[in-house]
Copies of this chain bind each other. A is one copy, B any other.
Amino acid sequence: MFKYSNAKSGRHFLQIPGPTNVPDRILRAIDRPTIDHRGPEFGVLGRKCLAGMQAIFQTTQPVVIYPASGTGAWEAALVNTLSPGDAVLMYESGHFATLWKNIAVKMGFKPEFIEGDWRHGAVPEAIEARLAEDKAHTIKAVAVVHNETSTGCVSRIPEIRAAIDRAGHPALLLVDTVSSIGSLEYKHDAWGADVTVGGSQKGLMLPPGMSFNAISAKALAAAKNSKSLKSFWGWEEMISINKNGYFPYTPNTNLLYGLSEAIEMLVEEEGLENVFARHHRFGEATRRAVRHWAQGGAMEILCQDEREHSDALTAVLLTQGHNADALRRVILENFDMSLGQGLGEVSGRVFRIGHLGDFNDLTLMGTLAGVEMGFEVAGIPYRKGGAQAAMDYLAECAKKPALKAAA
């Protein structure tokens, strides 16, 4: 009767930096009958989701919800604000910035791509310098990725906003927050973003298939002059009909059930500040683990600027001669955990630990233990004790409230 089997016990550890683990509550919310998207019940759902997304983007301005994945919302940000031939200044922070630039090319815009090293966020000074040269204001928008999912580097959006302002340039600021919204602090209004692009499948803990544009008054004004052809992505009709909680075309109703649940969890129950603090704890614990392992000489954290470490994921760069994909395969086969692969320029040399979304201290410890055991099994040199270093930090964090209460 005995036969060897690849059957898995327990839950898979989905520790790619998104799509992230969907909480049971959200799965159950989605698992309800689809309703009439023109009926009275839908309006309540639609209004709740639209208001909740304003809270999450920290804006009082319109948020548009697309029944499309994040790539669509990238396109929407461009085609609503720009006209064919318009120049847009983009920054090569990594793979996702590159993909967004490629869309701009395909859609007939003229992206100017500031070269980056994939180990930093967008450099505000470089943006300022380029805009200062653009006396004729031919650049119509600056587009940057807030949390670059391929590198684990965060671009400092308030500093980029300040750089644009210092250059006295009227360009719009377009920001991709697909892998940061709902995990890392982000303030659409206070930080002066004009269009913020978001997606459902990372910090919002939903399946993929839904995406967002948060839109400033300045962006809306620009949209009135945009000559780009658009229908599905067009803001005007969408915002007009959204006022009552409805959509101009068929919305993805069941993902809205899930979004409604996610809004309750993040905004009403845990509170965004707690969500951000929790992710910071995960990020710091992970970095302590990686720095400890790195003393074995075979790896380093990809992100090189202390100010720019992502609390949503950590990308680890292996030194020459070590294969990150082989390591990921060993970890998947032995410990049933998926880690993110190196993308584009860092393919094969980088693996990425996702620590965002529906995630807690003990899941993080399982994750870090799986990485550390993976080094051991794959024969990658590491200094033992990285998971222990993370544990020490998490236990210290847990002790803090008690210390405060005693004070």
Chain A positions within 8 Å of B, measured between CB atoms, are 1-5, 7-11, 13, 21, 24, 55, 265, 269-275, 278, 334-337, 358-367, 369-370, 372-373, 376-377, 384-385, 387-388, 391, 394-395, 398-399, 402
Contacts and interface: CB of A to CB of B under 8 A. Distances in A.
A274 B5 contact: yes
B373 A395 contact: yes
Contacts of A394: 369, 373
Contacts of A55: 1
A2 B185 CA distance: 13
B369 A365 contact: yes
B11 A360 contact: yes
A7 B387 CA distance: 25
Nearest to A360: B10
Nearest to A390: B369
B377 A395 contact: yes
Q: How many copies make up the complex?
A: 2
Nearest to A365: B369
B369 A387 contact: yes
Main secondary structure of the interface of A (DSSP, over half): helix
Given A269-B7, A362-B367, A373 B387 contact: no
A360 B7 CA distance: 11
Given A4-B274, A391-B387, A337 B359 contact: no
A217 to B, nearest CB: 22
Nearest to A264: B7
Contact of A361 (B335, B363, B388): B335
A289 to B, nearest CB: 12
Given A9-B358, A271-B5, A369-B387, A376 B395 contact: yes
A367 to B, nearest CB: 7
A259 B55 CA distance: 44
Contacts of A391: 369, 372-373, 387
Nearest to A27: B24
Contacts of A358: 9-11
Contacts of A336: 360-362
A51 to B, nearest CB: 13
A7 B274 contact: yes
Contacts of A369: 361-362, 365-366, 369, 387, 391, 394
B387 A399 contact: no
Contacts of A361: 334-336, 369-370, 373
Nearest to A384: B388
Given A373-B394, A373-B398, A387-B388, A9 B335 contact: no
A368 to B, nearest CB: 8
A398 B329 CA distance: 13
A144 to B, nearest CB: 27
A363 B366 CA distance: 6
B366 A5 contact: no
Nearest to A362: B366
Contacts of A21: 10
B7 A270 contact: yes
Contacts of A399: 376-377
Contacts of A274: 2, 4-5, 7
Contacts of A3: 271
